[in-house]
Amino acid sequence: MVKQLVAAQNDFFATQKTKDIGYRKQYLKKLQQEIVDQEDAICDALYADFKKPKFESLATETQLALAELKHAIKNIDTWSEPERVSGSWSNFPSKEWIQPEPYGKVLIISPWNYPFMLAISPLIGALAAGNTAILKPSEYSVHTSKIISQIIRKVFPPEYVTVIEGGVEVSTQLLAEKWEYIFFTGSTQVGKIIYKSAAEHLTPVTLELSGKNPCIVDETASIKLAAKRIAWGKFINAGQTCIAPDYILVHKNVKDALVDNLKNSLTEFYGKDMETSGDFARIATGKHFEELKGMLEGQKIIFGGKFVDADQYLAPTLVDEPELDSTIMQGEIFGPILPLISYTDESELDSYISKYPNPLAFYMFSSDKKFQKRLMSRYSFGGGTINDTVIHISNKDLPFGGVGQSGIGGYHGKHTFDLFSHHKSIVKRGTWLDVPLRYAPYSFSIILIKKIKYLF
């Protein structure tokens, strides 16, 4: 089946239909309408997968995808236009420009944590740029994967866009094919497998991966507000967010205040009996639930810690001063557990932050502008926010992605269009003049070439 679909997409791309901007726009509009029509069903599917609260489904899945669609539909004409550059004088007379063109067939592999948005958002850019696509959503978010498949089947012919559901086996089959672009969102570990497969065919990739995201709170921060914003960014989606703050580095003088305020914020958000709150999601996979429970063993839990196996519920949990060699501080937590580590002096921070490879996100709460500037310039990370968490993802003009171990490439808004386009350079020479400098014999040219300082 995979081979046939790949062949069908090759043939379809060769018809040149997707080069027509009107054609792309027409399908993006159909997709937009279908998402609007199915929005409640999508939210129901997300709830069925991991009890994702409806507000979070709207705010972080469907409405984000619709905003991307609206932006792409509005701007696709401008984005697709050739960009004139000034001609180099050595080419005179000429017109010179950059023409975006689609790569061809794109493979999009997505994870389970924001299962709708992380599948649809790259797809929008891939189609806006004129590619065909095969989408492989996660096998763990079965209900959402199913509705994505239904939507795509209703809107697109399979030779243009298809969803193939399944797990590692299906992914492996897909990766054995030749793609013109691969867009992967998931763990760093699997990202390496994707990169190796892509290398076989020299296929360009975007890898949206993971990291251990620090969040620094210094003495000058507004603690009450910091606590509220950290609690929101950490516990939305039950902490299963690639850019959630992973651990807190807090100045010892404000640690107690931060902990008290975090507790207050969490109680305000989810009530005293958090398990009954309809605003807090569950852990999406059994495997990950067990891993998270394991991380809590032997830790000093200062808030939460309750879990319910039947429901894969893990309460918002604060852990005090974990050992750096404990599992919780080894890799990405990716769940509702927030460790707090205190520091006394700025010079100590580096021993924590540099212990881990480039994080996907970086947060700091401080009103000290010089401190903000020092940290922002010192560390290499995908993206970050000062005095808030997670929200840098919401601006479509900011490219979203990692660096080093946390990923390759950035997307959202026009950045997604650019990422899925090859930028073709074209020079159109005039024929009414032909400067002889470059032609042999070179005896005269060799004198001139050194005098002409600016050949380009």
Residue spans of beta strands (DSSP E) within 252-344: 300-303, 307-308, 313-314, 317-320, 337-343
**Residue 194 C-beta: closest distance to ligand NAD, Å:** 6
**Residue 188 C-beta: closest distance to ligand NAD, Å:** 7
Q: Is-catalytic flag, 43?
A: no
Burial class (CB in 10 A: 0-12, 13-18, 19+), 359: buried
Residue 209 in contact with ligand NAD, rule: CB under 6 A:
yes
How many Å apart are CA 110 and CA 208, to the nearest integer?
9
Q: Which of 106, 100, 102, 101 is nearest to 178 (CA)?
A: 106
Residue type, 113: N
CB nearer ligand NAD, residue 187 or residue 445: 187
Binding test (CB under 6 A) with ligand NAD, winner from 25, 52, 105, 136? 136
User: Of the ranges 18-26, 110-118, 230-238, 415-423, which one interacts with ligand NAD (CB under 6 A)?
Assistant: 110-118
**Residue 169 C-beta: closest distance to ligand NAD, Å:** 9
Residue 185 in contact with ligand NAD, rule: CB under 6 A:
yes
162-173: burial string, b at 16+ Cβ within 10 Å, e else: bbbebeeebbee
User: Pick the catalytic residue: 159, 177, 242, 332?
Assistant: 242
Question: 90 phi and psi, to 5 degrees?
Answer: -65, -20
Q: Which residues pair with 284 in a beta bridge?
A: none
Site for ligand NAD in 305-364 (CB under 6 A): 332, 334, 360
Structure tokens at 419: 């990422």
**Residue 63 C-beta: closest distance to ligand NAD, Å:** 18
Tell me if 316 sits within 8 A of 339, measured CB to CB. no
Tell me if 386 sits within 8 A of 372, measured CB to CB. yes
Structure tokens at 250: 């807090």
CB nearer ligand NAD, residue 210 or residue 265: 210
Cis peptide before 122 (omega within 30 of 0): no
**Residue 452 C-beta: closest distance to ligand NAD, Å:** 48
Residue 392 in contact with ligand NAD, rule: CB under 6 A:
no
Binding test (CB under 6 A) with ligand NAD, winner from 208, 266, 341, 416? 208
**Residue 37 C-beta: closest distance to ligand NAD, Å:** 26
Binding test (CB under 6 A) with ligand NAD, winner from 7, 41, 59, 168? 168
CB nearer ligand NAD, residue 242 or residue 328: 242
> Residues touching ligand NAD: how many (CB under 6 A)?
27
Q: Which residues pair with 429 in a beta bridge?
A: 94
Tell me if 118 sits within 8 A of 156, measured CB to CB. no
CB nearer ligand NAD, residue 107 or residue 262: 107
Q: Which residue is nearest to ligand NAD (CB)?
A: 186
Q: Map residue 185 onto helix, strand or coil.
A: strand
The total of other beta-carbon atoms located within 10 Å of residue 369's CB is 10
Q: Is-catalytic flag, 139?
A: no
CB nearer ligand NAD, residue 80 or residue 145: 145
**Residue 85 C-beta: closest distance to ligand NAD, Å:** 32
How many Å apart are CA 75 and CA 70, to the nearest integer?
9
**Alpha helix positions (H), 271-343:** 286-296
Name the residue with tokens 């989810």: 270
User: Pick the catalytic residue: 56, 177, 208, 332?
Assistant: 208
Binding test (CB under 6 A) with ligand NAD, winner from 9, 32, 57, 138? 138
CB nearer ligand NAD, residue 159 or residue 332: 332
Interface with ligand NAD (CB under 6 A): 109-113, 118, 136, 138-139, 167-168, 171-172, 185-187, 190, 193, 208-210, 242, 332, 334, 360, 402, 407
Active site (catalytic) residues: 208, 242
